[in-house]
Amino acid sequence: MQFIEALKLRSKLLFLFLLITIGLISVAIMGTTYVNAMKRNIDSLYFGSLVPVTELNEILQKYHNGLADTLYKASRKEISTSEIIFNLEDSLDEINKKWKSYISHFKSEEEMEYVEYTNLEIKATNRYFQQILYAAKNGKDLTKISINTLEKKVAYIHRVLQKLINYEVSVAYYERKKFLHTYHTMMLRIGIILSVVILGILAVLLYVFRSIQKDHTQLEIAAKKLKIANKKLENASYTDSLTDLHNRRYFNFVYERELKRAKRNKTYITFMMLDIDYFKQYNDTYGHVEGDFALKSVAKVLKDTLKRPSDYVFRLGGEEFGVLLSETDESNSAKLSREICDAVRGRELRHEKSKVSDFVTISIGVVCCIADEALDDEILISRADEMLYEAKESGRDRYIITSNVSAATTKPMHEEVHRNAS
């Protein structure tokens, strides 16, 4: 039996196949006919279930990687208008083709009800993207596309299609259960005929099965390690590589989630927009290596100051940072802003080109309010940006905080200025 241990998994499976084949051929052609019939049934069952699920998954990929990804790039002017038009047309054509192929398969009456509903939702979603395509063809500016609306459209059609995928999978499990019942019945009949041969090779087969199970356990361990590695890779996609803070992509996800939670609970929500003062001059004077060090220093201040699990810190791009706090009132938000300003200045990173201090400083625009259903999703960002602008205009190295979240520009409710003691 030692030679079996030395074989690899594929060789062991081949060896097992040869043993079974020899046993079946030695008994009768009938045994071989039954086994071949079962093989055809298995192929039909699994490949027949795989095709619809594959088509639905490909449709989902087109919505995410074809349409949504193109519009994300378009909103940031990363691709040309011709590329936008081509990608949108190609993705919509592929979605229609895959959907037509999917609905051409056999469907039960119960399944057809949800298929028809899904068909209507796909058409509605496609009309949304066709409107954007029409706007692109007519030279409209796509940078003003509502990313929030886009994400809601894609998330909704994702849920609709995922429900259909889950239904297809459940049908496959049901059909497999029926097949297993037929399989066991057939095997019982074959077992009576093949009992003599099976008893002869049972010991060898049992040993081979145990050896395969051992290899399977090792594969499961490897699969778990791969899952952990994939999780780390996913986390990396949400992390800024320079500062180890969350990136803009993760901000887009967390912002919508936390705002909905605050609205639901009617609790305080705070958004800070932070910008390093005269950072371009700092880079020009000290070089990009020192500039990167300054960014990492500010990031460390933010991480050391904001330690609650519900405190989210982001690098939004360049020298711009964002902070999202939940259940933090205006007084505590102001206190944290003051601590951040003091801590950044306190690191005493020399900045001879700064007009407000000898050291690197930061300006902060803060919005703090109690969320309710009337709160617009974009107002926190726009108001924080206004407060940041006022902080810069009024001398930098300070924060300005407001609780006014009306759409019109208003004066800040609170202002505090930080300067060096010297």
> Which tokens is 199 given?
């008893």
How high is the pLDDT of residue 27? 64
Calpha distance 367→382 (Å, rounded): 9
Instruction: Name the domain boundary from 175, 203, 236.
Output: 236
Q: Which residues, 6 or more positions from 316, have their beta carbon under 8 angstroms from its beta carbon?
A: 248, 251, 273, 322
How high is the pLDDT of residue 74? 84
Check: CB of residue 315 under 8 Å from CB of residue 334.
Answer: no
Task: Identify whether residues 288 and 258 lie together within a single domain.
Answer: yes
Amino acid identity, position 39: K
pLDDT per residue as tens digits for the range 344-361:
999 999 999 999 999 999
Indicate the average pLDDT of the chain. 82
Instruction: Name the domain boundary from 236, 263, 290.
Output: 236
How high is the pLDDT of residue 170? 81
Task: Identify whether residues 252 and 400 lie together within a single domain.
Answer: yes
Task: Identify whether residues 232 and 257 lie together within a single domain.
Answer: no
- Residue 5 to residues 1, 209, 210: CA-CA distances in angstroms? 7, 11, 10
- Closest by alpha carbon to 118, among 172, 159, 88? 159
- Token pair 């500010």 is found at 298
Task: Identify whether residues 275 and 205 lie together within a single domain.
Answer: no
The active-site residue, picked from 55, 168, 258, 319, is 319
Reply yes or no on whether the pLDDT at 8 is more than 80.
no
Task: Identify whether residues 277 and 371 lie together within a single domain.
Answer: yes
> Which tokens is 235 given?
């986390």
Check: CB of residue 380 under 8 Å from CB of residue 407.
Answer: no
- Closest by alpha carbon to 366, among 340, 416, 406, 402? 402
Q: What pTM did the predictor assign?
A: 0.46
At 107 the three-state DSSP class reads: coil
- The percent of residues in the chain predicted with pLDDT above 90, rounded, is 36
Task: Identify whether residues 13 and 93 lie together within a single domain.
Answer: yes
Calpha distance 31→388 (Å, rounded): 80
Assign 418 a pLDDT band (cuts: 50, 70, 90).
very low
Reply yes or no on whether the pLDDT at 419 is more than 50.
no
Reply yes or no on whether the pLDDT at 22 is more than 60.
yes
Is 78 a catalytic site residue?
no
pLDDT per residue as tens digits for the range 265-319:
999 999 999 999 999 999 999 999 999 999 999 999 999 999 888 899 999 989 9
Q: What is the DSSP string of 350-362?
A: B-TT-SS-SB--E
